[in-house]
Amino acid sequence: MEPFKNVFHRRGISLVAEILSRHVVHFRESDFVQQASHQLENLELKQRSQQIYQALCDHLPQDFLQASEAIKRSLHPCCEGAPVRAETDELGIQGWLIMPFAEYAGLRGGDHLPEALELLRELTMRFSSEFGIRHLIKKDPLQVLSVIHSWTEDPNEHVRRLASEGTRPRLPWGLQLQAFINDPTLTLPILQKLRDDPSEYVRRSVANHLNDFAKDHPDFVMDLAHQWNPGASPARKKLLRHALRNLLKQGHAKALSLYEMSKPELCDVRMSLAERRIVFPGNLRLTISFSSLAKVEQILRLDLVIHYQKANGTLSPKVFLWKQIHLAAGESYVAEKNLVFRPISTRVYRAGRHRVECKANGVIIAGEDFEILCWFFPFPFGSQKKWYFLLTRPWFWQRSRVSQISTTKITY
């Protein structure tokens, strides 16, 4: 599998240089390519974007207004509808290579806010400006918010989404916006305008924005949910459910009550694992059974909590939604689940003890320990040594007692 960081590659950088040279007088095309692609294979995704950004700073006109106009002329043609999402081509810049340009607009456009924001609006229609715009928000949040609020009525859904996504207090990969973390009412007018947007793409951003708020102001979000829920359309109800997902996982009483859930009344709860040891990669099949003690029907949200082993040997929990069931009074219930453990780029699996638990409406009702067995060794690819894993039989692992395995993507 090709590493995700390769969305920034030398061929794309060379194409960007060729496009910019059409619109920037005396643009040093070869120097730009050399600087922007220097030792690219050794850099991760954000490092690559940062290196391209620095090359833009060094080769575009020092006057931001001139540079901004050149960038806009270099963008891929974009109509009012959905933007082009493919890679940059001869027609103009688009796709992931927009990311360093958004960073340029955010970091270099602080003294020209209207022009910088207009450039970010154009950029987001070809990819996204949610990271770059945060630099301008930190510089002058109120002035930027006044412009962003007008974007909630933009005909392009990607611009409307930027109004919500760019102002998220805790956007992953992005700068945290402490002013919005402290005071969620600052962006509330934007969310209220977009809560019934015709695009699910936009509404999902609103839900994620509210989920950010819920990490610091759960009661504020719950009060808002109780205001928005009566008479809500199915689309808005879906938005609220996604916004409250972490509060529901945590068993937040107000969040559960919104969906007519309460503390579970259960007996004869049993969890069993098909096996206690699995060889990585592998599957773990679990079975859980229980009966109702309640005299009325219960609505139960079942979550699975997997406690992954960290580098220091402690366990770190991750909660996954399993299912929602309606359990009649006195009814018994049995369910099976197959847990899959495979190499992914977002998690490092380590050999040793792990644990799986089942929650019902936020309350842990059962749990069992299990063990992951695996072995790894250094394997050379080209000029660099990369970690690659080799499966073993359990008896071999017991003899070698290897401690961990990294499943980060391999660079070829």
Which domain does 317 fall in, by range? 266-345+354-372
Establish if 95 belongs to a structural domain.
Answer: yes
pLDDT for the residue numbered 84 = 59
- Any idea what the CATH number is for the domain that residue 272 is in? 2.60.40.10
Clarify whether residues 139 and 288 are in a common domain: no
pLDDT tens string 304-325 = 999 999 989 899 999 999 999 9
In the chain, the percentage of residues whose pLDDT exceeds 90 is: 80
User: Is residue 290 a contact partner of residue 270, using CB atoms and an 8 Å limit?
Assistant: yes
377 domain residue, yes or no: no
Where is average pLDDT lowest: 29-38, 55-64, 86-95, 231-240? Answer: 86-95
| Each residue's pLDDT tens digit, 61-95 | 999 999 999 999 999 987 655 555 668 888 999 99
Last residue of a domain, one of 258, 276, 311: 258
Least confident among 12-21, 138-147, 214-223, 397-406: 397-406
* The model's pTM: 0.82
Q: Is residue 392 part of a domain?
A: no
Task: Let me know if residue 409 belongs to a domain.
Answer: no
Dist. CA 283–CA 312, nearest whole Å: 24
Do 253 and 271 lie in one domain? The reply is no
Same domain as 189, residue 63:
yes
Least confident of 1-5, 247-251, 302-306: 1-5
Residue-wise pLDDT tens digits, 109-164: 999 999 999 999 999 999 999 999 999 999 999 999 999 999 999 999 999 999 99
Residues 323 and 203 in one domain: no
247 with 273, same domain: the answer is no
> Is the residue at 313 inside a domain?
yes
Question: Mean of the per-residue pLDDT values for the chain?
Answer: 89
- Residue 379 within any structural domain of the chain: no
Residues 244 and 337 in one domain: no
Split at pLDDT 50, 70, 90, the class of 381 is very low
With respect to residue 244, please indicate whether it lies within any of the assigned structural domains.
Answer: yes
SS (H, E, C) the chain: CCCHHHHCCHHHHHHHHHHHHHHCCCCCHHHHHHHHCCCHHHCCHHHHHHHHHHHHHHHCCCCHHHHHHHHHHHECCCCCCCCCCCCCECCEECHHHHHHHHHHHHHHCCCCHHHHHHHHHHHHCCCCCCCCHHHHHHHCHHHHHHHHHHHHHCCCHHHHHHHHHCCCCCCCCCCCCHHHHHCHHHCHHHHHHHCCCCCHHHHHHHHHHHHHHHHHCHHHHHHHHHHHCCCCCHHHHHHHHHHCHHHHHHCCHHHHHHCCCCCCCEEEEEEEECCCEEECCEEEEEEEEEEECCCCCEEEEEEEEEEEECCCCCEEEEEEEEEEEEECCCCEEEEEEEEEECCCCCCCCCCEEEEEEEEECCEEEEEEEEEEECCEEEEEECCEEEEEECCCCHHHHHHHCCCCCCCCCCCC
Distance CA 162, CA 225 (A): 22
Is there a single domain that holds both residue 221 and residue 318? no
Residue 336 in this model has a pLDDT that exceeds 60: yes
CATH classification of the domain holding 183: 1.25.40.290
Categorize the per-residue pLDDT at 374 as very low, low, confident or very high, splitting at 50, 70 and 90: confident
Number of independent structural domains in the chain: 2
User: What is the per-residue pLDDT across 177-195, written as a single tens digit (0 to 9) for each?
Assistant: 999 999 999 999 999 999 9
